[in-house]
Every structure is written in C-alpha cells, then in structure tokens.
C-alpha cells in the first residue's frame, strides 16, 4: 500500500484531475486485489433525460449510453483483462446505462442493485442517505483475497457517499478506493478516461 501514498495525497489535495497515476505504482497493487473500482457510467446522449425515474423498467424513458460510451465501456473492459486486473464482483446501478456499461465491460457477472442507483429529488432524503450509507459500506469492505470489486454507478452517488471532491467526476472516470473496514476507505487514484487504461495495456 505504501506505493500509493503519493496518489492519496494527490486526490485529497484536489489535484486528481491532472495526470493519471503511474501504472508502475497502481497496476501491481490492483493485480494483487483488495480494491474497489468505482466507475461512473461512460458517455451518454446529452439530448436525453430520465423522464420516468421511479419506474426503472421503463428503459425508453432513460438517458442512454451513446455509441462513444459503448466503445468506452468495451475499451475499459478490454484494458482490465489485458492488464490482468482480477475482478470478483461487478455491481451496477439499476439504471440501464449503468447495467449496459457493466455488461460491456465483460469482466464478471453483473448484479444490479438499488443501493447504487441514482436517487436525487425523486426519492426521499432518507432513501438517498440510505443509499449513500450502503455505498460507503461497499467502498469500505475488503473484497475476497486476490480480487477487486467494480461498481458502475453515478456521480451523485459518489458525492453523497465519499464527498464533494468528486463533484467533477467525468463520465467513464474510474476512482480506485482502498477499503479500510469499519465504514472507512480512502481514494488512492483517479483515472479520468478509458484511453489511459488502454495505453497502459499496450
């Protein structure tokens, strides 16, 4: 874990959107497992909106991944596999764009969960807090030995669970968390685009 201390400082100091971390620091740690990778769903169609967010089976009323977003999801999954990053669980928001992205990653069986589904103004403040608490629990729970967990969700969920510093989280950005147990965790890296992972995989 010591190799990632400098990355933690960069995140907490607000410099996380600068250059991605060195693969020489990050990748060996990820290959050993023990991390939670939070992925904001890739790019979506900006002319669409979630017009029926209380009925998530109404997929046609949701904002969808764009063609570029689907390519991003596939590229990210290809890079994870090429880099030999072991994934034990994939948890996705119940919104279709997150589930589609998780399937396109193709790094493991996908479980859809309301705990990481975006709520906002359409659910009660109590439900939003419950979801934030559930995500904090996921971020703080160490995965089984030799594996990592991937969560595909939304920016507001991470803001509510981990803090306002993630208010600039880009579509397809990955935040790597080290679970510390007992509801505690720390961000050790932010990788803003699938292209960075793809470069590392070459």
Convert the pLDDT of each residue in 90-139 to its tens digit. Answer: 999 999 999 999 999 999 999 999 999 998 878 899 999 999 999 999 99
* Lookup: tokens for 61: 């009323």
For residues 80 and 88, what is the distance between their CA atoms, to the nearest angstrom? 13
Please, which pLDDT band fits residue 16 given cuts at 50, 70 and 90?
Answer: very low
For residues 111 and 59, what is the distance between their CA atoms, to the nearest angstrom? 17
**Structural domain count, the chain:** 1
Q: Which domain holds residue 173?
A: 2-201
152 DSSP 8-state letter: E
Helix (H, G, I), strand (E, B), or coil: what is residue 49? coil
CA angle 84, 3, 187 (to 5 degrees): 80
pLDDT of amino acid 19 = 53
Contact 148, 36 (CB under 8 A): yes
Whether the predicted pLDDT of 21 surpasses 70: no
Tokens 């596939």: give the residue: 74
Contact 42, 194 (CB under 8 A): yes
44 DSSP 8-state letter: B
Tokens 């998530």: give the residue: 56
Residue 144's CATH number = 3.40.50.1240
């Amino acid at each position: 874990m010591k190799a990632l201390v400098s990355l933690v400082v960069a995140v907490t100091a607000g410099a996380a959107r600068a250059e991605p971390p060195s693969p020489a620091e990050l990748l060996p740690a990820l290959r050993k497992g023990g991390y939670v990778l939070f992925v904001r769903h890739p790019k979506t169609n900006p002319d669409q909106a979630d017009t029926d967010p209380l009925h998530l089976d109404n997929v046609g009323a949701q904002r969808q991944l764009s063609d570029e977003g689907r390519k991003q999801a596939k590229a990210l999954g290809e890079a994870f596999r090429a880099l030999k990053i072991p994934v034990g669980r994939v948890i996705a928001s119940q919104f279709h764009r997150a589930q589609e992205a998780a399937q396109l990653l193709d790094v493991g069986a996908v479980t859809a969960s309301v705990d990481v589904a975006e709520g906002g103004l359409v659910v009660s403040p109590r439900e939003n807090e419950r979801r934030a608490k559930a995500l904090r629990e996921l971020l703080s729970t160490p995965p089984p030995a030799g594996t990592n967990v991937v969560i595909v969700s939304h920016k507001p969920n991470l803001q509510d669970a981990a803090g306002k510093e993630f208010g600039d989280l880009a579509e397809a950005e990955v935040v790597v968390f080290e679970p510390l147990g007992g509801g505690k965790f720390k961000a050790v890296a932010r990788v803003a685009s699938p292209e960075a992972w793809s470069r590392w995989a070459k």
